[in-house]
Structure 1
């Protein structure tokens, strides 16, 4: 078994295994590795998983992110980076089992399916290359934003009509009375399917879910098989009717027209299978996602109140709800070749259950992941829609529907509240949403009774995921403390007392500097567990581009400002046996939080703090009181300059060095640690030279965007970031100097000419990521995961 650095502590007699042997069961998995108690007990059909999948597998995310489940016969994967890597590689990790029955049915149920001629074939969800991508491209056009806009009036009309039916009742089951039927009607309209008996289609859809992802009891399997068989025959009948008028609107008719030009790509068997799968996929996930979102928002009244008061927050609230409590709990993949996932050997032929809902709660990617934060700037990184070439084609239709539903509810029923109830779910591994969602309100307080004009207001729908720059967090300066003659410490709080996200040491926030157009990053230096405030310390630097001067000149107690984040590109390795911290001047801000965390963890650490004089070293008194002899002060005025070469002359096994400070100090550190392992030194810079491009010294190159299927040319006088934005590819960015790490992009092919100051030597050597604001291609071509 390959060790995982973040796994549970090991006993001395099990030094090569990452798990505490006292937790083992005596069972072994297919590779001979021991099965832990958590893995043996894992059962996705238990109520705990149905109610809250991320919490149910929290133990796995924290201790055993890849494990074999004897009950399920699957390997289970729970962390964000591992799951995203699986989605990215659809050759090693085939989607072919995505629609396979997770619970094999008995011969009687199989005979029932056979009598209906049930023969569900490959669809876009579960087919491999080379068939998948040509089919996806041929059928993609109706899913583009310009085509989806045509469906917006219908969605708005239906949302209005259905709310009209119960607006004066004071009580409703949102699932039964709206959230199932409206997405189903929209789905049928999109597909071009006539609106037959929707109650029957609902039962068929549930049966399909149970048949594919559930665990029906033997006595239930025959009834489920009859429903699935009838569904299959109905899909065929609808398709036959469509063939009589292929010019009619609808995605299925579009597929019939494409079949004329591409008969080898859009086949009869594909169309029949896609008709059935499409009816489920196009509505069930949206119905469940909206029900989950409404339940979640009403469970957090202060958040519900915020979006009622400011509807512009709805698009990002949708993304955060999809992340926090999405409708897709897990997907499945088949391993086609011996490989590793999260450092664990997985043999060819293995089946994977990839718990995307767990990935969406991974603290390594989402700060304070359990917090519902509708201003989270990376909420749209969620994996609810999958990722890569098999990402959900209908994601933007779902986003549009959810935005319109939330707009209708917040505008017309802002006083809505959850009724007392117990939530139940259809037991299955993958799709989840409450079967009922009872809400209550006082009809006498309906705003439209006194403000009928509000029904005419419409919030623009955002097609696609929100840009990180569209969402910021309003804060107020609660306290300004002068630490030195040119450093102030700011305590920033929510104007309404709402909790702020917990953060990990090394994180920073972006401050919008009023109407200057400037956005600057400042490391958080307070207590990471303090959810009441963010604290930063800012050095006034007259040589800067104006951000620090604006902070010093404009921010006083009571001042309002907007921030984004927190984000972390300078994360502490909490498993390192030895931690060496080096800070220069204002570079103490991220290092102070790291040292506090090291102390709390009981790690072996030392903090070297360098400065001109003690009077010019912010936070010094507090650090001395906290760290005592572990703090070594190097004050130039006292003749105590740090001899970095001598301090780091001997590499220490497993040690990590974290440093932040002036460029000259960090360059000296790089030289002093050149003989250390490549990833031992990790730095954060607060100043760098702005990148400049001399066309006479640069060369043009092409960038292939693997996930978008397009190529972009980058001329000698343009950055990759600028070329991407010109091609309407939204990439987050802030400093544009290779300093903050905001624009990091995964590299799938080609050699990178790294020019940033974010990546470590080992990360640069890996050639699998780059900062597109400054780095370039070393050759003629790069392939990026965009």
Structure 2
């Protein structure tokens, strides 16, 4: 039984649940106090539920009558399985209304039906496929000129005032105008719909007081009827531009899929979805950026960072705080058994701050390399269709503000939010600036400059960070050790042992990966040690010949695909040559944690082995050095003769060493050995030796053809499916996708033997199908 005090409305029989729930009884004192309508949740949802992420990732809220889910992996799993976790309650009123308000709604003929947001299969995917085309990148590009024109016009209105409420004077109206144009709503209906949209949000996700419910019901009823009248008007000109007109045209050929009631409901829901989320997201982003002045300055100086800054803002402080799902059959989430009929509040904003997925998750980093992993747009078959329209608008707004008002700052104010569980953004956002410093007064030509909009998630290669070489010292023969610091002395994002950074070696196209080898606790610098490879691809030669203290570098990361297993009972750390770089950080961490470990370091000559004195001072007798010129070699067969339960072997070095280790460890338990490779030739693609195949995207409902001359990664990107990648050689692990069916032809050097045998994931940049089809969890 939990040590916290349970309340009387526990929905689970304690005898059955004590061993299943993380804290015994699923209703703890903190769970009983959970209130998503209070100011704590409204001001900062991730912070408000931090205790849940850390202690009770799945808990029952008696005030809501919902189970609350707080962790990234659990929430993504819920999104992925839309049969067990139905979206049918996504638009259900979270606060039941009284009889009088219900009678008011009935008097208007209010009959909100299923939409793309809340309908189940088999109805959902046929409709989604049929209505997807206007959301593809090539179609969204047609809206870019309008967004730019509106952004320019609205900023013109207050650019010389020195003070503005960005929400009232721009961010509420422009996204609504764009939404109306996207939907195809006539401009003379825009003002009316602007008044009604907020009422729909309060009615569905808010907690209006009894005396407020009737007024809200009247507004929602009027909204419903007005949407119907607009739809009737659209039917008179179905060939006009707009998503609703597109739906009307699709209805002619597919009346059983696109029904009258469906179009009416989508008209109403689409206005809210396309408007409020983007308005709130941009307001949140501007508030967040101006609260971090250095990030704002970086953005003003380098507009190329804007696409990734948008993703980090959506992650750190997005406009969608939570979604809802209904459990259709008995299920287990986060180790907690949930009976069929349970309602879930899945707090996506909490998932976006989960340290298990986002390193240093509370740190706001516009260069974060996995920012677009956020769940603000949802995930899977119900992922927001309008995500790329929102991204485009936000990029253009940030471009306009950074170019024309780089000296903008937040005014003193108290931020307020409309109380509801799901959609959040400040009701007002006051900013100030000195009009005399407006850059366009000195240089009118800057108004003509624009930055390219990226429709879709940002390219990793645009996410660079400037660092200064504080020192470049000899670490061994042919090895230089670089200490890299922020040019302005700021702290750098934290990293974990096994992490690497990408360094632009004199040319953005010549990027090389180097493991971090310093102290992970040192937030003031990154350290790498680079071996001069005589037969390399030019990166190490450039570093050795051109780089010196005081020089500037562009880097990306850090990222970690070679994580230290801190749960191991014993660690055997093995390094060959320059492979000591990630292993040294692992040894330091093991020492700090008081783990049982040994460090084995081999090299062809002592003079060529980096960091020996430092390693000896830190690890003493735990360090074993094998210098070839001294006649010492590491006998893997003797070292690893007897398998040890609970042990983990982490190794990095030349391919021949790693292969020898793999052979030696064949009799150890699967996945005991974890390695990091430097090179691979397995990813090379020879179309004459390949065959075409299909990949079915289970979560998205699409089937993508992969030709013989194309990788899975490139085929997915052409289909507008977001997949991260970096090395494109099967080395880094960033393009991993989950596989549900089909036999994989593995060509990476990332996955372990057990992971390959399990046939559950692949690297999309290089691996292929052995047969005619793969089914992916995308």
TM-score (norm 1): 0.91
Instruction: Report if aligned partners of 1:467, 1:730 keep a CA contact under 8 Å in 2.
Output: no
| CA–CA separation in structure 2 for the residues paired with 1:258 and 1:695 | 39
2:221 maps to 1:259: no
Aligned to 1:595: 587
CA shift for structure 1 position 120:
0.9
| 1:455-479 deviation digits (Å, cap 9, x = unpaired) | 2222222222222123222222211
| CA–CA separation in structure 2 for the residues paired with 1:65 and 1:659 | 34
Instruction: Report if aligned partners of 1:580, 1:655 keep a CA contact under 8 Å in 2.
Output: yes
Instruction: Report 1:123-162 matches (<5 A).
Output: 123-162=115-154
Q: 1:750 to 1:554 in 2, by over 3 A?
A: same
2:574 aligned counterpart, secondary structure = strand
Aligned to 1:17: none
Of 493, 501, 506 in structure 1, the residue corresponding to residue 498 of structure 2 is 506
2:621 aligned counterpart, secondary structure = helix
1:461 aligned counterpart, secondary structure = coil
CA shift for structure 1 position 211:
1.8
293-302 or 339-348, which moves further after superposition?
Answer: 339-348
Aligned to 2:599: 607
| 1:672-723 deviation digits (Å, cap 9, x = unpaired) | 33333322222112234454556786554333345372422342x6654566
Instruction: Report 1:506-525 matches (<5 A).
Output: 506-515=498-507, 517-525=509-517
Instruction: Report 1:526-541 matches (<5 A).
Output: 526-541=518-533
| CA–CA separation in structure 1 for the residues paired with 2:252 and 2:719 | 32
| CA–CA separation in structure 1 for the residues paired with 2:766 and 2:202 | 50
2:642 maps to 1:643: no
2:705 maps to 1:712: yes
| CA–CA separation in structure 2 for the residues paired with 1:74 and 1:111 | 26
1:674 aligned counterpart, secondary structure = helix
Q: 1:728 to 1:189 in 2, by over 3 A?
A: closer
Which segments of 5 or more consecutive residues in structure 2 lack a partner in the other structure?
Answer: none
2:50 maps to 1:51: no
2:672 maps to 1:680: yes
| 1:470-525 deviation digits (Å, cap 9, x = unpaired) | 32222222111211112211111233334321112111111222238332211111
1:682 aligned counterpart, secondary structure = strand
Of 223, 229, 241 in structure 1, the residue corresponding to residue 233 of structure 2 is 241
Aligned to 2:155: 163
Instruction: Report if aligned partners of 1:181, 1:198 keep a CA contact under 8 Å in 2.
Output: no
Instruction: Report if aligned partners of 2:532, 2:540 keep a CA contact under 8 Å in 1.
Output: yes
2:305 aligned counterpart, secondary structure = helix
Aligned to 1:739: 731
Aligned to 1:671: 663
Q: Say how many residue pairs are matched.
A: 766
Q: CA RMSD in A?
A: 2.6
2:41 maps to 1:67: no
Q: 1:66 to 1:650 in 2, by over 3 A?
A: farther
CA shift for structure 1 position 412:
1.8
| CA–CA separation in structure 1 for the residues paired with 2:714 and 2:107 | 59
2:537 aligned counterpart, secondary structure = coil
| CA–CA separation in structure 1 for the residues paired with 2:339 and 2:401 | 49
| 1:313-336 deviation digits (Å, cap 9, x = unpaired) | 222222221122111111112222
Q: 1:77 to 1:575 in 2, by over 3 A?
A: farther
Aligned to 2:750: 758
| CA–CA separation in structure 2 for the residues paired with 1:621 and 1:403 | 50
2:467 maps to 1:475: yes
427-436 or 595-604, which moves further after superposition?
Answer: 595-604
471-480 or 671-680, which moves further after superposition?
Answer: 671-680
Of 559, 563, 583 in structure 2, the residue corresponding to residue 571 of structure 1 is 563
| CA–CA separation in structure 1 for the residues paired with 2:3 and 2:650 | 34
Aligned to 1:560: 552
| CA–CA separation in structure 1 for the residues paired with 2:580 and 2:338 | 43
420-429 or 641-650, which moves further after superposition?
Answer: 641-650
Aligned to 2:648: 656
TM-score (norm 2): 0.92
| CA–CA separation in structure 1 for the residues paired with 2:686 and 2:226 | 64
| CA–CA separation in structure 2 for the residues paired with 1:672 and 1:63 | 41
Aligned to 1:230: 222
